[in-house]
Structure 1
Amino acid sequence: MEPVMEVRQVVKRYPGGRVIANMSIRVGKGEVWGLFGPNGAGKTTLLKILTGLIHADSGTVKLFGIDIQDHYASAMSRVSCLIETADAYEYMSAERNLKLAARYYPDLPKGRIDEVLELVGLSNEKRKKVSGYSLGMKQRLAIAAALLARPELIILDEPTNGLDIDGILWLRGLIARLSREEGTTFLISSHGIQEMEQVCTHACIIGGGELISQGRITDLVGGGITLEDAYLYAIHGQAKGAARIHA
């Protein structure tokens, strides 16, 4: 089966020394990938390359078998993303913000806006100006916008930002349901490794711009080893208990 996303030997260098080095990832339909790494590891840079916001120096990125540099619009037509910030027009309501976004999707079914507002729990607040929203509500609105056109691949950068415990539980449930029932594929960059372990099917751990470890969650954890332990081994060469001893 053609992968939803295929990254082959992607390289990106910056004058200051930051780098993405020979990154290769293959993501299948309905999989939920967690992208983990410390600050400055290159997570957001990689996401920007995957969505065409910046170009790699070398290597290829294909979405649904389409090269993103050669045919950007076609490659991105089935993709939605939320990277870095949850932007919205604060002087408008959530409903009005989504109506503006819906103009990019002429075939959007009638009622889809109300449907996604219900999905993210903002139905009762849909006519309230976004300026009066909490950070968590703004994050929910951004997720609603990402879901609007029923994308087959959703790329999320720190989607739990601003969400309380109930919000994180809701988001995990939503991701699990969409991947299971609709075959939606997710790539999620997050510092919340404990939260994401419970919903991700695969993990990719990067450090210093290099791919250190990747694979199925079931292959990375077990026998008392959590994904957090696997992360600490990959990044620091020590488990959580050792990290406490040497702190």
Structure 2
Amino acid sequence: MEPVMIIKQVTKRYKGGGGISDFSIQVGKGEVWGLFGPNGAGKTTLLKILTGLCQADSGSVELFGHDVRDRFESAMSRVSCLIETADAYEYMSAERNLKLAARFYPDLPKERIGEVLELVGLSNEKRKKVSGFSLGMKQRLAIASALLARPALIILDEPTNGLDIDGMLWLRGLIAKLAREEGTTFLISSHGIQEMEQVCTHACMIAGGTLMKQGPISELTHGGVTLEAAYMSAIHHQAKGEAMAHV
């Protein structure tokens, strides 16, 4: 089966510092990948490259066999993403916001808006103005928008922002359900390893723009090691290697 996503040796460096270096992963259908790292690790830079919001200095990204740089529309045709902020028209209702988003999908069944509102738990609030929503409710609405067209790949940047404990449990259940029942693939950026460890099938750990470890969760946590412990170990080895390089 052809991989959903292939990232090969992607590098993007900024003049003031930061970015990512020589990043490579391969993602298969129905896999849930967690991109874990602290703030400033390079996670959002990678997601922007994947979605065409910025260009890599070198390397390549293929989505469903199409190069993002050369065949952007084809590459993104089955992709949905939520990056950085949960934007919506505050003066409109949740339902009206989704109707506006649905205009980009002319073949979308009318009942789909009601379906996604039910999925994210906003059916009872669908006619309320977004200006009266909590941050968590706005995040749920943004996720509903991302789900509208039944994308094959969903890219989420810090999707648990603003969600309470119940909201986080709901989100993990939703991701697991879509991956299991519909074969939806996820790439989820988060600095909260413990929040997402239970739903991710694979993980890549990044710090300082460098990919430290990647692979199935079962392998990274072999021997009863938690994913958080594996991450801290990777950071320790990276720091030790950098210190030795300067001796």
Taking structure 1 as the reference length, the TM-score comes to 0.95
Instruction: Give the corresponding residue for 1:228.
Output: 228
- The CA distance in 2 between the partners of 1:189 and 1:54, in whole Å, is 17
Instruction: Give the corresponding residue for 2:219.
Output: 219
Say how many residue pairs are matched.
238
Structure 1 vs Structure 2 CA RMSD: 1.0
Instruction: Tell whether 2:121 aligns with 1:142.
Output: no
- The CA distance in 2 between the partners of 1:166 and 1:38, in whole Å, is 24
- The CA distance in 2 between the partners of 1:89 and 1:17, in whole Å, is 34
Instruction: Give the corresponding residue for 1:157.
Output: 157
- The CA distance in 1 between the partners of 2:231 and 2:13, in whole Å, is 25
Instruction: Give the corresponding residue for 1:245.
Output: none
Measured against aligned partners, the alpha-carbon deviations of 1:180-219 in whole angstroms (never above 9, x if no partner) come to 0000000000122112110000000011111100000000
Instruction: Give the corresponding residue for 1:121.
Output: 121
Give the Å deviation of 1:17. 2.1
Instruction: Tell whether 2:83 aligns with 1:88.
Output: no
Q: Which amino acid aligns with 1:194?
A: Q
Instruction: Give the corresponding residue for 2:244.
Output: none
Give the Å deviation of 1:237. 4.2
Structure 2 residue runs of 5 or longer lacking an equivalent are 239-247
Give the Å deviation of 1:167. 0.5
- The CA distance in 2 between the partners of 1:18 and 1:206, in whole Å, is 12
Instruction: Give the corresponding residue for 1:78.
Output: 78
- The CA distance in 2 between the partners of 1:93 and 1:14, in whole Å, is 39
Give the Å deviation of 1:20. 1.2
Secondary structure, in 3 states, of the residue corresponding to 1:75?
helix
- The CA distance in 1 between the partners of 2:149 and 2:40, in whole Å, is 32
Secondary structure, in 3 states, of the residue corresponding to 2:12?
strand
Q: Which amino acid aligns with 2:55?
A: H
- The CA distance in 2 between the partners of 1:150 and 1:9, in whole Å, is 30
Measured against aligned partners, the alpha-carbon deviations of 1:128-150 in whole angstroms (never above 9, x if no partner) come to 00000000000000000000000
- The CA distance in 1 between the partners of 2:147 and 2:141, in whole Å, is 10
Equivalent runs, 1:1-247 vs 2, <5 Å: 1-237=1-237
Give the Å deviation of 1:19. 2.9
Secondary structure, in 3 states, of the residue corresponding to 2:143?
helix
Q: Which amino acid aligns with 2:51?
A: T
Structure 1 residue runs of 5 or longer lacking an equivalent are 239-247
- The CA distance in 2 between the partners of 1:25 and 1:111, in whole Å, is 37
Q: Which amino acid aligns with 2:3?
A: P
Measured against aligned partners, the alpha-carbon deviations of 1:211-235 in whole angstroms (never above 9, x if no partner) come to 1000000000032310010111112
Instruction: Give the corresponding residue for 2:243.
Output: none
Measured against aligned partners, the alpha-carbon deviations of 1:37-93 in whole angstroms (never above 9, x if no partner) come to 111110000000011100001111000000011111110010000000000000000
Taking structure 2 as the reference length, the TM-score comes to 0.95
- The CA distance in 1 between the partners of 2:44 and 2:55, in whole Å, is 13
- The CA distance in 1 between the partners of 2:25 and 2:207, in whole Å, is 15
